[in-house]
Amino acid sequence: MSSVTNGNHERDLPAMTVQRIPLYLRCLLEAQGERLTVLNSKQLGERAGTNAAQVRKDLSHLGELGTRGIGYDVDDLVVHLMRRLGITESRFAAIIGAGRLGSAFLGYQGFVARGVQIVAAFDADPAKVGIEIEGLTVKSIDEFAQAVGNEGIELVLLTVPAVAAQRACDVVVAAGIKAILNFAPCTLSVPDDVTVRQADVAADLQILSFHLNRASSGGETR
Amino acid sequence: MSSVTNGNHERDLPAMTVQRIPLYLRCLLEAQGERLTVLNSKQLGERAGTNAAQVRKDLSHLGELGTRGIGYDVDDLVVHLMRRLGITESRFAAIIGAGRLGSAFLGYQGFVARGVQIVAAFDADPAKVGIEIEGLTVKSIDEFAQAVGNEGIELVLLTVPAVAAQRACDVVVAAGIKAILNFAPCTLSVPDDVTVRQADVAADLQILSFHLNRASSGGETR
DNA sequence: TCGTGTGAAGCGCTTCACAGCA
DNA sequence: TGCTGTGAAGCGCTTCACACGA
């Protein structure tokens, strides 16, 4: 009603654009490491594995971030993408399930640079509670709700066995968490306002297996 | 040229259908565990988190697998989907990078039931070579090409740091591997006939973070 | 009757092509 | 001149609605 050049560039990004923003951000951080200050849509597209038109269309949804005749300022764009992703300040995450996979993520040093900080680990198994993994003491799942408030936890990585996943998920949802990354190969039931992303490694391998078939068989039917 | 009811149900599935087949398969295996013999499209859709129309359209691409008025025979469908994915016999996979994440997958018992068997682990670090993880001795990456032939390896899980990923990838591709699941947060350059799937946990968390923003802010612009 | 298989409609994403601006 | 931002065209996926068949 008052702004002129500022269109409705605030909410409602296409789902596919949202999925690519982390990819663009990663490529831009790489470019920063190479001391590049400007990237055009073609260059960014090549790094991200897409094309220039896709990059321009995606970024145009965020506002007019580029300079015609020049390209995109790398530092500027990094800030804009981080702001859109809500990671200008690190988001705090918790791991539920201190098994092999959960421990691997606890020890991974790469999350902080991507705007996520793992601040706590929980397990339902009393044998796991109290042990220290990568400098963090595993807490009981019973303490989860309290920890969410105390530590500002907003994201959950669910790394429990499939049979325990729904139970753990219920605890997480009851504590007010709205975003879950589920590594268990099962469908989780959650309220509409909770977002679940599925990370099923076996499914990924099956998809790759499918593509192996397509490549090898020349064209015979049997 | 001779078959009557058999249309061209052999190759060329829509990409999105291929992505959902592992999901359907997982739901069907669950149903088998519950001693269910028949599922209709609505029931399968609910389990898979989609709808009946989507299920029917997807499965129709594989042939006429259902029975009108009844639904789909669970065992039959499992066999069909596994055949399409090329996992009627287990596919053999190798892990490159015997770090925390690679070790976690080596110890995961759930792959075999999904048609994938991890048969070897490799690392470029001489300090890692020779150590035993979950009953498997870590080999040098230099032995990879030979092992591919000896052990029938067709899939690779790449769990090395980002800086080492392209180098490791080149070794894998040179050994004739056509399918790679890359856990390193970087874009890999591969020939056209090699399929790479990206598994970037930090990117998934960033997407979840974006959705947190959308949910919390009621509608104000600033 | 009930549920599949399927053409057709609907919808969203991708690509194109070019106007607009530094 | 060179590259962005963007309407429009193109394309593929999803959803609908119903004929067909057990």
| HEC assignment per residue over chain A | CCCCCCCCCCCCCCHHHHHHHHHHHHHHHHHHHCCCCEECHHHHHHHHCCCHHHHHHHHHCCCCCEECCCEEEHHHHHHHHHHHHCCCCCEEEEEECCCHHHHHHHHCCCCHHHCEEEEEEEECCCCCCCCEECCEEEEEHHHHHHHHHHHCEEEEEECCCHHHHHHHHHHHHHCCCCEEEECCCCCCCCCCCCEEEECCHHHHHHHHHHHHHHHHCCCCCC
**Res. A191: pLDDT tops 60:** yes
Separation in Å, CA of A143 to nearest CA in chain B: 23
Task: Compute φ and ψ for B196, nearest 5 degrees.
Answer: -120, 130
Q: Does A62 touch chain B (CB under 8 A)?
A: no
> Considering the domain boundaries, does residue A51 fall inside one?
yes
Cα distance between residue B47 and residue B25, in whole Å: 11
**Res. B90: pLDDT tops 90:** yes
From residue B153, alpha-carbon distances to A211, B12, B92, B149 in Å are: 15, 25, 5, 7
- Provide mean pLDDT across the span A178-204: 97
Q: Does B14 touch chain A (CB under 8 A)?
A: no
> Considering the domain boundaries, does residue B29 fall inside one?
yes
**Res. A70: pLDDT tops 60:** yes
Cα distance between residue A86 and residue B210, in whole Å: 6
The reply to whether the CB atom of residue A62 sits less than 7 A from any atom in nucleic acid chain D is: no
> Considering the domain boundaries, does residue B6 fall inside one?
no
Nearest protein residue to nucleotide D12, judged by CA and C1' positions: B14
Cα distance between residue B56 and residue B72, in whole Å: 10
Query: Rounded to an integer, what is the distance from CA A172 to the centroid of its chain?
Result: 18
- Residues from chain B that touch A86, judged by Cβ atoms under 8 A, are 209-210, 212-213
The number of beta carbons lying within 10 Å of the beta carbon of residue B56 is 16
Query: Same structural domain for residues B192 and B100?
Result: yes
- Residue A217 has what pLDDT? 54
- Residue B214 has what pLDDT? 80
First to last CA, chain A: 65
Task: Please list, in sequence order, all residues whose beta carbon lies within 8 angstroms of the beta carbon of residue A163, skipping any fewer than 6 positions away.
Answer: none
- Provide mean pLDDT across the span A47-74: 98
**Res. A220: pLDDT tops 90:** no
Query: Same structural domain for residues B108 and B69?
Result: no
> Considering the domain boundaries, does residue B22 fall inside one?
yes
Q: Does A26 touch chain B (CB under 8 A)?
A: yes
From residue B22, alpha-carbon distances to A126, A188, A204, B186, B188 in Å are: 34, 16, 8, 25, 24
Out of A85, A100, A133, pick the residue that ends a domain: A85
Domain that holds residue B113: 91-204
- Is the separation of the CB atoms in B98 and B121 below 8 Å? yes
Query: Same structural domain for residues A102 and A180?
Result: yes
Query: Same structural domain for residues A121 and A167?
Result: yes
> Considering the domain boundaries, does residue A46 fall inside one?
yes
Query: Rounded to an integer, what is the distance from CA B42 to the centroid of its chain?
Result: 25
Question: The domain that contains A59 carries what CATH number?
Answer: 1.10.10.10
Separation in Å, CA of A91 to nearest CA in chain B: 8
Percentage of chain B lying above the pLDDT 90 cut: 90
Task: List the beta bridge partners of residue B199.
Answer: none
Query: Same structural domain for residues A67 and A112?
Result: no
* Distance, Å, A41 CA → C13 C1': 18
> Considering the domain boundaries, does residue A147 fall inside one?
yes
Q: Which of B23, B220, B201, B215 is nearest to A195 (CA)?
A: B215
- Residue B82 has what pLDDT? 98
Question: The domain that contains B111 carries what CATH number?
Answer: 3.40.50.720
**Res. A222: pLDDT tops 80:** no
> Considering the domain boundaries, does residue A42 fall inside one?
yes
Of A186, A206, A219, the CB nearest to B22: A206
Query: Same structural domain for residues B26 and B106?
Result: no
Query: Same structural domain for residues B27 and B73?
Result: yes
* Count of structural domains, chain A: 2
- Residues from chain B that touch A19, judged by Cβ atoms under 8 A, are 207
- Residue B59 has what pLDDT? 98
A80-122 pLDDT, tens digit per residue, is 999 999 999 999 999 999 999 999 999 999 999 999 999 999 9
Between A10 and A207, name the one with better pLDDT: A207
- Is the separation of the CB atoms in A164 and A149 below 8 Å? no
- Provide mean pLDDT across the span B34-50: 98
Query: Same structural domain for residues B173 and B99?
Result: yes
Query: Same structural domain for residues B69 and B97?
Result: no
Interface-testing mutation among B25, B207, B214, B222, with chain A (most A C-beta atoms within 10 A): B207
Out of B24, B55, B85, pick the residue that ends a domain: B85
Query: Same structural domain for residues B52 and B111?
Result: no
- Residue B218 has what pLDDT? 43
Query: Same structural domain for residues A191 and A97?
Result: yes
- Provide mean pLDDT across the span B158-177: 98
**Res. A1: pLDDT tops 50:** no
- Provide mean pLDDT across the span A31-35: 97
Cα distance between residue B14 and residue B58, in whole Å: 8
Percentage of chain A lying above the pLDDT 90 cut: 90
Query: Same structural domain for residues B175 and B158?
Result: yes
Q: Is the dihedral of CA A26, A28, A29, A31 positive or negative?
A: positive
Q: What is the mean pLDDT of chain A?
A: 93
From residue B119, alpha-carbon distances to A54, A169, A212, B106, B159 in Å are: 40, 32, 18, 9, 15
Out of B29, B63, B85, pick the residue that ends a domain: B85
**Res. B149: pLDDT tops 80:** yes
> Considering the domain boundaries, does residue A2 fall inside one?
no
